[in-house]
Amino acid sequence: MKLQNKTAFVTGASSGMGHAIALKFAAEGATVIAVARRREKLDALVKESAGLAGKIIAKSGDVADVDGITKVLDESFAEFGKIDILVNNAGVMDEMMPAAECSDELWDKVIDTNLRGPFVICRRWLNGQLDNGGGVIINTASIGGLFGSRAGASYTASKFGVIGLTKNIAFMYAQKGIRCNAIAPGSVATEIAVGIKNPSAFGMERASAGMGANPRYGEADEIAKVALFLASDDSSFVNGAVITADGGWSAY
């Protein structure tokens, strides 16, 4: 068991990569605090985890709600005393809107969920976990945070920001027992694209220009395996890294 006696806090756990990460961690012995907006999906996740070495506990929360998500973290620290592993996974897409078409409302929605939320959660987690001897942060970035046009302007900016935040925390707190790394997935079969309702035709055309070079789509469990590596002592010397998991797409 790679995560025996560990407590993990996973956002965006109701589906996709967060769902897979929660199950993977619980299978390795962790107590997983699974956080998302859709309580019914979380309850189904808890049932799915029955019989695993660890356990999953569902908590409703929206990472874009600063006060609300901070309260969930406060409650979790009060209940468990420590949170060894933090996974900032929740995220939203941006309708592939290029800068000229991106509204203030869309920009704020994407930045609040994809960047401000992880920052607020990291800040609260650091203030709660530093006295517990350190721990691990895993941020879900994207190859959209490494390249300029895998999505619209706001999503791209948010994921570049997540990578910068990851590297800053990693170095700042390295000598205090904190490791902070990011995973940059390519195209993965999850529900995130369901949120694209009315995409920009121009933005979609430009963002899709390189799709022909994509070898294949990934599965959520493949990303969960990377997260398990980063969460465990197997990656004890890995800090401030961005692990690209895209089937070779960005190697082109």
pLDDT digits (tens, 9 = 90+) for 84-95: 999 999 999 999
173 among known catalytic residues: no
What pLDDT shows up at residue 189? 87
Report the helix count and the strand count for the chain, using DSSP H and E: 8, 7
Beta carbons of 18 and 185 less than 8 angstroms apart? no
Which helix (H) or strand (E) is 54 found in, with range? none
* Spatial separation of the C-alpha atoms in residues 46 and 35, rounded to whole Å: 11
pLDDT digits (tens, 9 = 90+) for 203-233: 999 999 999 999 999 999 999 999 999 999 9
* Spatial separation of the C-alpha atoms in residues 98 and 107, rounded to whole Å: 11
Mean per-residue pLDDT, 49-58: 98
* Spatial separation of the C-alpha atoms in residues 138 and 87, rounded to whole Å: 5
What pLDDT shows up at residue 18? 98
What pLDDT shows up at residue 197? 81
Asked if residue 161 has pLDDT above 80, the reply is: yes
pLDDT digits (tens, 9 = 90+) for 85-121: 999 999 999 999 999 999 999 999 999 999 999 999 9
* CATH for the stretch 7-244: 3.40.50.720
Taken as a whole, the chain contains a residue count of: 252
Strands (DSSP E) found in the chain: 7-11, 31-36, 55-60, 85-88, 135-140, 178-185, 242-245
Mean per-residue pLDDT, 139-150: 97
What's the mean pLDDT when you consider all of the chain? 96
What pLDDT shows up at residue 193? 66
* Spatial separation of the C-alpha atoms in residues 167 and 115, rounded to whole Å: 14
% the chain with pLDDT above 90? 96
Mean per-residue pLDDT, 166-178: 98
Which helix (H) or strand (E) is 220 found in, with range? helix 220-231
Catalytic entry in 155, 173, 217, 252: 155
